[in-house]
Structure 1
Amino acid sequence: MADAKERKILVAVDEGLESMYALSWSLHNLISQASNDTIILIYAKPPRTLYTSPDGYLFSPDMLASIDKCRNDLASSIIEKAKKMCREQGDNEVKVEVIIESGDPRDVICQAADKIHADVLVMGSHGYGLIKRAFLGSVSNHCAQNVKCPVLIVKKPKSSSSATGTK
């Protein structure tokens, strides 16, 4: 039997439970026993927001360094949690790569998917209603409209009865 084509499965992760559920779902449903697949975890650090007072006061360099350290620590923590999930839940030795970029998550994810020629982009859904999506925007919706590869949006069940299809 010929070797299976290696797929690049790009999974967007953030601090929400929804993205970790999407990663878990991917490990159980997309990765096969005999696969050469690579899970590529992507985390988009939101751009640093600076606020100034009316007199033009800016944060000191020490404060900015502390803010950057916190942002980097958060990114590392999320990626480590996701990598641990890949080790523990993967049916086989799952190859894992990591991308951490700064910027608007919509742009970062779309650019990465195109750059690496992802075979599929997997994202969790926060389940925002129509009003919240209108004001906050939907990262998954934006990516679904703008990337060239298929996008799989995984919605976390609200309860265990929802997961089994019973009401």
Structure 2
Amino acid sequence: MAEPGRRLGVAMDFSACSVKALNWAIDNIVREADHLILIIIRPYQHYEHGEMQLWQATGSPLIPLAEFSEPAIMKRYDIKLAAEVLDIAVTAEKQKNIVMLMKIYWGDPREKICEAIDNIPLDHLTIGNRGLGTLKRAIMGSVSNHVMNNATCPVTVVKADHHHHH
């Protein structure tokens, strides 16, 4: 009997860096039977609809891969999953024999990612170090730093490839 799979999270904001983090997780940490969960954080203004009030605290239900591309589902959550991300997920689920899921939270990514780790709960989180624009990041502080300092599970930060070093 294989041990039941681990729950591995990837924080997704659909930036190139978060796609890179997703690919890195699939290539480096995913094993057969794992559950890989895309954790998507939406800004507050997106949940005026009634049902979102219910999920404000706990996030959406876990959404299976089959529903990622359903227009009704995506519309309900006000999300457009990039074809590239969908492609990566479908391929990974087949090739690696894992379960791909998605969970959506509303609010401050720093808080919500830490909550996701405890709520789901996650055995590991992969996050890109570049998502927010520079200005936003200056105001909000680095999401990846906050998560690393507060997470209750191991976190891997995947760095964006930048030609200029600071």
Common fold: TM-score over 0.5:
yes
Q: CA RMSD in A?
A: 3.0
Name structure 2 gaps, 5 residues minimum: 53-73
Structure 1 window deviating more from structure 2 (146-155 vs 3-12): it is: 3-12
Q: Within 1, Cα distance between the matches of 2:100 and 2:83? A: 11
Q: Within 1, Cα distance between the matches of 2:152 and 2:139? A: 26
Corresponding residue SS for 2:157: strand
Determine what percentage of the aligned residue pairs are the same residue: 32
Q: Deviations over 1:50-82 (max 9, x none)?
A: xxxxxxxxxxxxxx78xx9xxx65853237653
Normalised by the size of structure 2, how large is the TM-score?
0.69
Normalised by the size of structure 1, how large is the TM-score?
0.68
Instruction: Give the corresponding residue for 1:60.
Output: none
Instruction: Give the corresponding residue for 2:155.
Output: 151
Query: Which residue type is aligned with residue 11 of structure 1?
Result: V
Corresponding residue SS for 1:39: strand
Q: Residues 31 and 112 of structure 1: is their aligned pair in 2 closer, same or farther, counting only changes over 3 Å?
A: same
Instruction: Give the corresponding residue for 1:45.
Output: 42
Which of 72, 82, 85 is equivalent to 1:82? 85
Residue 148 (structure 1) shift: 0.5
Residue 127 (structure 1) shift: 8.1
After superposition, residues 83-122 of structure 1 pair within 5 angstroms as: 83-89=86-92, 91-122=95-126
What is the aligned length? 136
Structure of higher CA gyration radius: 1
Residue 94 (structure 1) shift: 2.4
Residue 87 (structure 1) shift: 1.6
Q: Residues 141 and 41 of structure 1: is their aligned pair in 2 closer, same or farther, counting only changes over 3 Å?
A: same
Q: Within 1, Cα distance between the matches of 2:160 and 2:129? A: 7
Q: Residues 5 and 17 of structure 1: is their aligned pair in 2 closer, same or farther, counting only changes over 3 Å?
A: same
Q: Residues 13 and 117 of structure 1: is their aligned pair in 2 closer, same or farther, counting only changes over 3 Å?
A: same
Instruction: Give the corresponding residue for 2:27.
Output: 28
- Asked if the contact 1:27/1:86 (under 8 Å) is kept, the reply is no
